[in-house]
Amino acid sequence: MQNNLLKSFAGRQGWTSILVLALVLMVVFPLGLDIFRLNLVGKYLAYAFVAVGLVVLWGYGGILSLGQGVFFGLGGYCMAMFLKLEASDPISTKIQSTPGIPDFMDWNQLTALPSLWQPFQSFSFSLLAVIAVPVLLALIMGLAMFKRRVGGVYFAIITQAVALILSVLIIGQQGYTGGVNGITDLKTLLGWDIRTDTAKYILYFLCAGLLIGAIITSRYLLGGKFGMLLLAIRDKEDRVRFSGYDVANFKIFAFCFAAGLAAIGGALFTLQVGFMSPSFVGIVPSIEMVIFAAVGGRMSLVGAVYGALLVNFGKTYFSESFPDLWLFLMAALFIGVVMAFPNGIAGLYESIAKRRSAKSDDTKSEPLASAPEKTAAAADKAHWPHPGAATATQS
Amino acid sequence: MSPSEIGGIIAMQGFAGLSLFSVLLLMALGLAIIFGQMGVINMAHGEFMTIGAYTIYVFTTTAATYFPAFAPYSFLVAILGAFCIAFAAGYLAEYLLIRHLYRRPLDTLLATWGLSLGMQQIFRSTFGAKEVSPVIPEWLLGSVKPTEAIDIPINGLFVMGLTVLVTATVFLMLFKSRWGLRVRATVANRMMSNAAGINTKKVDRLTFAIGCGIAGVAGAAFTTIGSTGPTSGSLYIVDAFLTVTFGGAASLFGTIASAFGIAQTQSISEFFMTGSMAKVLTLLVVVTILMMRPQGLFASKVRR
């Protein structure tokens, strides 16, 4: 049993697959693609951070957050606010009626930098805020909900509502946030021009390196006791609770971890693309981020990266060449990964690999860490999950 | 400002709140059946509303071109048509997709989101990306003016009347008909209902389809207020889900109460701040209360 489990972990998140991914990201892409396309890949890799976080949160923890765009956006905005302040020094903004404040504030008749923006003049504070602000929000949301045993679809709906609130707020408060256009015209980072090709190369390698680091950290977390407990909570929450664990704390940690990863992704996105806007915060981008993880395989950290790359390549290619087909394809992806391929690309790859190894020797190992519906549905056949079920337990 | 003017403002403000209330309630009613009773997360609910809206568009424009004499009444017939077409679409969706996913609520959410994207593209390919407006009959235009300061649009009154009618029908069906009895039995105890000879699968399909049909009627009613585009349904989905969740999932009374509360909060705060900030404030209040009291305003007392 223990052996099988280890084997399945090794097969899924083994060092080989991480090494292959690192080779692809660090050697194949930079050698094979010109800087324009490499920059695009870097942008997709920023999304992959969110997908990796969702593997931990959703694949292992069974907690579906439809608000990852909130954390991605907050991380991105924290970074963008610093860059924007640097870009709007008094000399380059001297034609404004109030020089030294970001251009959109000037357009909205603001005459001084709002106090919310003041601390973002410091680079170290901004770097801290990139992680701290989203994780703090996740902590508050997690404490409020998981301690009260809100889970499942209720959690999904509330996170979605938070995504709506934040995007409406950003669009509504034009003078403070840049409104629907977002924060644009970002130029330098501590005097270093981020728009040159060299800078783009460096930022790409930074992004890819951090992503590999994030995968290794997640793998370390999931490979240990924490991963076991998350799986157990996903499949039979009550039993874990009755065994004496505080289920809520594990869920809160997973949520904060995923939020932190999403925030790093958002900050790297801002650096590579040069702007941040509410179109990465709302309901639609948040749910699209779930599909990256689902296509790659919700149980596979490495798969999530491939999923993010594949879906985004598809989006760029189809929305340029066949815009009508793209939404149909997206619809098919959503329905397909649910109905036919619950384990995504990683699952497909594994079933092929298993068939091959089954031919060579007869010992079949059943992977324990498969998508939830098989184990959970089998155990829960008699029960009918109802939205009230999550809350009924507490009364 | 004279007292009559202030009275007028209060009356108009009250009417705006009531109007928003009926809109919220109408769009939440179908969901209250699908999500509240069956526990199915139908993210494509807004698109079933759009089906209803486009049905009205097709019916009324056809009637206006080919049967001008019939045009004034075509709107009422079209509402029935909207119910039937949305019902049929819902029936089909349940058969092809939803019924395979009843045990996996989170996956239902993703699959129905996919369904909604597909439906949006179908609308766009069929009716174009531009927003369309149906031919509104004469008797729905204009406004009632009881006094100088008060001006109440007829289409708002019409939506209100329709909301009352649909709500009453849903109540009657749920609590007085055989179907309602079966639905309530299935919600309370699926195994036992099966054992008692209720074909719960058939009940599921019918319930889902009726919920979609009601969404169609809601979409039909909204054509009197605004125009219809391929993505207009998706604007309502979060509001509808929050309304049902806030009220307490399985309680129809809760849905009505929460629609009323949300609508009044929104319209009163709109008086003091911009529309988007009022929306933010309302949603924040609802989400905060939901975090404090996750079972909603009226928790059902059914033991599960």
Which residue among A154, A168, A382 sits closest to B245, beta carbon to beta carbon?
Answer: A154
Cβ(A124)–Cβ(B77) under 8 Å? no
Cβ(B103)–Cβ(A373) under 8 Å? yes
Token output for A232: 């157990």
Provide the pLDDT for residue B301: 54
**For the purposes of burial, counting CB atoms within 10 Å of the CB of B263, is it exposed (0-12), middle (13-18) or buried (19 or more)?**
buried
The predicted model gives B67-71 an average pLDDT of 76
Beta bridge partners, B143, equal B153
**For the purposes of burial, counting CB atoms within 10 Å of the CB of B285, is it exposed (0-12), middle (13-18) or buried (19 or more)?**
middle
Which letter, b or e, does each residue of B8-19 get, where b requires 16 or more Cβ atoms within 10 Å of its Cβ? beebeeebbbbb
Nearest CA in chain A to B36: A387
Residue numbers of B between 105 and 144 with CB closer than 8 Å to A: 105-111, 113-118, 120-121, 124-125
Provide the pLDDT for residue A377: 42
Residue B142 has pLDDT above 80, yes or no: no
A377–B contact, CB cutoff 8 A: yes
Provide the pLDDT for residue A136: 96
* Cross-chain residue pair B300–A384, CB shorter than 8 Å: no
Which residue among B118, B284, B292 sits closest to A165, beta carbon to beta carbon?
Answer: B284
Q: Which residues from A are below 8 Å from B104, CB to CB?
A: 338, 372-373, 377
Provide the pLDDT for residue B119: 93
The predicted model gives B207-227 an average pLDDT of 89
Helix (H) / strand (E) containing B144: strand B143-144
**How far is A135 from A258, CA to CA, in rounded Å?**
9
Q: Which residues from B are below 8 Å from A391, CB to CB?
A: 294-295, 299
Q: Which residues of chain A have pLDDT under 70?
A: 1-13, 360-395
- Matching residue, tokens 């080989």: A16
A287–B contact, CB cutoff 8 A: yes
Provide the pLDDT for residue A390: 41
* Cross-chain residue pair B283–A161, CB shorter than 8 Å: yes
Give the distance from residue A252's alpha carbon to the nearest chain B alpha carbon, in angstroms: 14
Residue numbers of B between 154 and 193 with CB closer than 8 Å to A: 187, 190-191
Helix (H) / strand (E) containing B153: strand B152-153
| Structure ipTM | 0.86
- Name every residue whose Cβ is closer than 8 Å to that of residue A36 and which is 6 or more positions away in sequence: none
Cβ(B237)–Cβ(B31) under 8 Å? no
Q: What is the pLDDT of residues B247-293, one digit of tens each?
A: 887 778 888 999 998 888 888 888 888 878 888 999 999 988 888 78
A283–B contact, CB cutoff 8 A: yes
Q: Which residues from A are below 8 Å from B103, CB to CB?
A: 373, 376-377, 380-381, 384-385
Which residue among B106, B114, B300 sits closest to A156, beta carbon to beta carbon?
Answer: B106
Q: In chain A, which ranges are E strands?
A: 188-189, 192-193
Kindly report each contact of residues B278-285 with a partner whose C-beta sits within 8 Å and lies 24 or more positions away, as own/partner. B279/A168, B280/A165, B280/A168, B280/A169, B280/A172, B283/A161, B283/A164, B283/A165, B283/A168, B283/B242, B284/A165
* Cross-chain residue pair B102–A384, CB shorter than 8 Å: yes
Give the distance from residue B243's alpha carbon to the nearest chain A alpha carbon, in angstroms: 11
Provide the pLDDT for residue A371: 52
Residue numbers of A between 24 and 63 with CB closer than 8 Å to B: 58, 62
Query: Among B198, B234, B295, which would you mutate to test the A interface (most chain A Cβ atoms within 10 Å of its Cβ)?
Result: B295
Q: Which residues from A are below 8 Å from B115, CB to CB?
A: 331, 334-335
Token output for A254: 């997973």
* Cross-chain residue pair B249–A373, CB shorter than 8 Å: no
- Cβ pairs A/B, distance under 8 A: 165
Q: Which residues from B are below 8 Å from A144, CB to CB?
A: 291-292
A160–B contact, CB cutoff 8 A: yes
Which residue among B106, B249, B274 sits closest to A172, beta carbon to beta carbon?
Answer: B274
Provide the pLDDT for residue A264: 95
Token output for A24: 């692809």
Provide the pLDDT for residue A130: 93
Token output for B251: 């309680």
- Would you call B234 helix, strand, or coil by DSSP? helix
Q: What is the pLDDT of residues A51-66, one digit of tens each?
A: 999 999 999 999 999 9
Q: What is the pLDDT of residues A111-167, one digit of tens each?
A: 888 888 888 888 999 999 999 999 999 999 999 889 888 878 889 989 999 999 999
Task: Choose between B283 and B6: higher pLDDT.
Answer: B283
Q: Using H for helix, E for strand and C for coil, what is the string for A27-85?
A: HHHHHHCCHHHHHHHHHHHHHHHHHHHHHHHHHHCCCCCCCHHHHHHHHHHHHHHHHHH
Mean pLDDT of chain B: 85
- Would you call B179 helix, strand, or coil by DSSP? helix
Provide the pLDDT for residue A194: 83
- Name every residue whose Cβ is closer than 8 Å to that of residue A283 and which is 6 or more positions away in sequence: A66, A69, A160, A163, A164, A167, B234, B238
Q: What is the pLDDT of residues B92-115, one digit of tens each?
A: 999 999 888 888 888 888 899 999
B145–A contact, CB cutoff 8 A: no
